[in-house]
Amino acid sequence: MAKNGQHWIGFDLGGTKMLAAVMNSSFEVLATKRKRSRGNEGVKTGLKRIADTIREAAAQAEIDFDSIGGIGIGCPGPVDWKKGVLVTAVNLGWDNAPLKEYLEEEFGCQVDVLNDVDAGLYGEKCFGAAKDARCVVGVFPGTGIGGGCVYDDQIIRGIKYSCMEIGHVPCIPQGPLSGFGHEGTLEAVASRLAIASQIARAAYTGQAPYVLDQVGTTVGDIKSGLIANSIAAGDEMVEKIVRKAARHIGVVLSTAINLLAPDLIVLGGGMVEAMPALFVEEVTKGAKEFALPSFQETLSVVPAELGDDAAIKGAAAWVAKTVNKGSKQKQ
């Protein structure tokens, strides 16, 4: 199945979008194709749309499919990385999607399936904010809160499944329920959805006048950019809500710091992109509140650098790494 590896495909199967990118052997992006994800369209239809998106990106790059060395795909939610199965994706309404099997049959090259935060963090390790880090932990707050860790150029994973699900770590005793029905997890108190819900309540009670004027009290309309704008406009309660959520992320991260002694924490996702200084400040404060002093000496907290390129480049770099490793072992 191994091919010459002149080109690599990175694919980001996000919660609201799917993005395919064709890269050369230096991981320079030659062409991209983006489509909106369709919730509850069904696994079979979704797999075909993924394959079609890859074909359209390849056609735009004017490359021969025989030159594709492999396809790496980052997915929202836990994955069975050995079988290449997306176990569940709530936003897409998918369960047990056989991505590896389907795409390898379609394209005849190796396909590696990763959690999207793992892919994004590996992209930052190879090409972005974490290039010089030995151990880097990533946290990407969004609709949920994803986590990942790259240690000595290896993505930390379980024997079968992706891991580092930091969003499901308990944070507040008897706190609000998560989507899995767990009380007071980090995701339940500090995800964008949780933050937006609190802001909507503040708007309803007159404590967030900018938000009320712009979008009213509909949670779904309270996006990251609007939240940043409301803080800039002087909505003090909104700033308090966001700062408290970011501090919670830092406190939960302190456990990972005490266990792994990372030299770098990378924060990514739309909310961090909209308010990088605020998140870095509050996460750092929360982390240092409980991290051991010896670990604080070498610790830095930084925003991600690559944006949408992180997951596609990370997924492509990872499949190139595994393909090349396999080729060397066969020699």
Tens of pLDDT, residues 62-97: 998 889 999 999 998 899 999 999 998 877 888 999
Count of residues in the chain: 331
Give the C-alpha distances (Å, rounded to integers) separating 177 from 19, 77, 174, 190.
Answer: 32, 18, 8, 12
pLDDT given at position 110 = 96
Global pTM? Answer: 0.93
Greater confidence (267 vs 308) lies with: 267
Residue from 100, 16, 102, 112 nearest 312 by CA: 112
Contact in structure between 197 and 190 (CB atoms under 8 Å): no
d(CA 264, CA 284): 11
pLDDT given at position 81 = 95
Q: What's the average model confidence in pLDDT over 266-270? A: 95
DSSP label at residue 206: T
d(CA 229, CA 211): 9
Which residues have CB under 8 Å from 62's CB, separation 6+?
none
Residue from 2, 148, 21 nearest 73 by CA: 21
pLDDT given at position 331 = 43
Domains of the chain: 7-115 (3.30.420.40), 129-303 (3.30.420.40)
Per the prediction, the chain carries an average pLDDT of 93
Residue from 120, 7, 97, 3 nearest 54 by CA: 7
pLDDT category, 189, cuts 50, 70, 90? very high
pLDDT at residue 209 greater than cutoff 80: yes
Long-range pairs for 101-108: beta carbons < 8 A, 24 or more residues apart: 102/47, 102/51, 103/47, 103/50, 103/51, 103/54, 103/71, 103/73, 104/1, 106/51, 107/51, 107/54, 107/65, 107/68, 107/71, 108/1, 108/3, 108/65
> DSSP readout, 104-166?
HHHHSSEEEEEEHHHHHHHHHHHHSTTTT-SEEEEEEESSSEEEEEEETTEE-B-SSBB---G
